[in-house]
Amino acid sequence: MADHLKFYINGEWVDPLGSETIEVINPSDESVIGSISAGTKEDIDVAVAAAKEAFKSFGFSSKEERIALLENIISEYEKRSDELAKTISEEMGAPLWLSNVAQVTSGLSHFKDTLEVLKTFKFEKTENDYLVRKEPIGVIGMITPWNWPMNQMCTKVASAIASGCTMVLKPSEITPFCGIMFAEILHAAKVPAGVFNLVNGMGPIAGAALSEHQDIDMMHFTGSTRAGVAVAIASAPTVKRVAQELGGKSANIILDDADIEKAAGAGANHCFMNTGQSCNAPTRMLVSSKNYDKAVEAATQVANSTVVGAPEDEGVKIGPISNKVQYEKVQRLIQIGIDEGARLVAGGLGRPDGISEGYFVKPTVFADVTNDMTIAREEIFGPVLSILKYESEEEAIEIANDTEYGLAGYVQSGDEDHAKEVARRIRAGQISINKGSRGPAAPFGGFKTSGNGREHGLSGLSECLETKAILGN
């Protein structure tokens, strides 16, 4: 890769107003692969002004125009899919196969699903003797993370375009190059000037400037709960809408009527996917005491057989942690797990054998974990699984809900109705039964400190709309 020091504002690549740059690091070998400019408050001001001006016309565009635009974006996105996958692998470390089958395709799915929702969505209807209109909220500020960069950029941008909103995106400074490529895709799709704007930079500067800006009507944020609180505080004085998808510590309840070994193995695999860097990862596995040892053994086998290596290597299951700060956090929490008395049954501290550089972590499993331990309560965001024991289903549900988070949950059972009964009692925004896949159009978002608002499909579109009542004949 190479340096990319310009921002995409008002349909053009423009020079930054500041001079600071940020190095982008390949997490596999810790080499510098390029640099980006660090956006300033002044850069954000220019981008917001462009979006505000563009909204004057795009906010009144027809549904048919926006349908055509989404179709163009899908076409241009598909042309760049292979290039996007390679870029994501290099800058955030996802294995190339995962970048192809999940990282890139999830973004494309959001555009396709939003397109189908838009085709049948009614922006205006009569209720009793008044008219109810759904109108675009205005200019949306977007801040997206590094763990699933295209997934999070695409779901937000697709919903914004479908609703008639304009936007300013600040992607993660850790994975900026796929964001730059995304801007090129939107330009090629002939998204009108000013509708989409991209400014790179750091959260405390560029992100804060977006959140505080009086001409931003809504902040759409995905990231840590800590950063989400900062966004909400900065947004409060202007009373803008804030939609947030934040952290998680999801419980995976394996009921006694499940195939224990199969469920535990699948749960461990899911926990380790994307190197554990998913906010909805099932990081707390809950198993009854009578089946506990079988589950621990199955999860341990998965951890010990998971191949860790460079994203481009054949047979690699998981790549490195995406950045040094996160790598050090994962190592610290593994040590805390050991210090607090959890039983380490797989993995542990340091890099896997044979790897001497890069932010690689051993797939790690802790047994004999109690829900008051740090590794059971704090989001680790790495390939670390905690296995907890319960004596009854009531206790399992209680443990699952005993967390500040509420993003996702999982239930494994041989009886689907039984699983649904348990799922209904878990306080989280999305519950998967028996490894059910997360459909891209299904509402996604959290309870409690996992956030507010919902993304994807109809829910994502609705999040970007205001409701207006027109009274009289």
What does the domain layout of the chain look like in residue ranges?
Answer: 7-246+449-471, 251-445
Specify whether 279 is catalytic: yes
Please tell me the CATH code under which domain 7-246+449-471 is placed: 3.40.605.10
Its pTM stands at 0.96
CB distance 114 to 66 below 8 Å: no
- At 2 the pLDDT is 81
Q: For the domain 251-445, what is the CATH code? A: 3.40.309.10
Helices first, then strands: H and E counts in the chain: 16, 20
User: Contacts by 57-65 with C-beta closer than 8 Å and gap 24+?
Assistant: 57/192, 58/164, 58/165, 58/166, 58/192, 58/194, 58/195, 59/135, 59/136, 59/138, 59/164, 59/165, 59/166, 60/164, 61/164, 63/118, 63/121, 63/123
**Active-site annotation holder among 178, 271, 279, 464:** 279
Q: How is residue 235 written in tokens? A: 């947004």
What is the spatial order of strands in the sheet that 251-254 belongs to?
343-346, 364-369, 384-390, 284-288, 251-254, 408-412, 430-433
Query: Amino acid identity, residue 96?
Result: L
**C-alpha dist (Å) from residue 101 to 85, 94, 96, 129, 433:** 9, 11, 9, 50, 22
Q: How far apart are CA 64 and CA 332, in angstroms?
A: 52
**Of the candidates 371, 411, 374, which has an alpha carbon nearest to the alpha carbon of residue 389?**
371
Taking CA atoms, 58 is separated from 48, 55, 153, 197, 368, in Å, by 14, 5, 20, 14, 56
* From 173, 245, 455, 463, the catalytic residue: 245
> What is the C-alpha separation between 377 and 229, in angstroms, rounded?
18
pLDDT of 53? 98
Q: How far is residue 338's CA from residue 317's CA, in Å, rounded to a whole number?
A: 25
- Is 466 annotated in the active site? no
pLDDT of residue 435: 73
- Confidence at residue 151, expressed as pLDDT on a 0 to 100 scale: 97
pLDDT 10s digit of each residue in the chain, 473 long? Answer: 689 999 999 999 999 999 999 999 999 999 999 999 999 999 999 999 999 999 999 999 999 999 999 999 999 999 999 999 999 999 999 999 999 999 999 999 999 999 999 999 999 999 988 999 999 999 999 999 999 999 999 999 999 999 999 999 999 999 999 999 999 999 999 999 999 999 999 999 999 999 999 999 999 999 999 999 999 999 999 999 999 999 999 999 999 999 999 999 999 999 999 999 999 999 999 999 999 999 999 999 999 999 999 999 999 999 999 999 999 999 999 999 999 999 999 999 999 999 999 999 999 999 999 999 999 999 999 999 999 999 999 999 999 999 999 999 999 999 999 999 999 999 999 999 997 666 668 999 999 999 999 999 999 999 999 999 999 86
Helix boundaries (H) for 385-428? 393-401, 416-423
Q: Coil, strand or helix: which one is 89?
A: helix
Residue 349 DSSP class: S
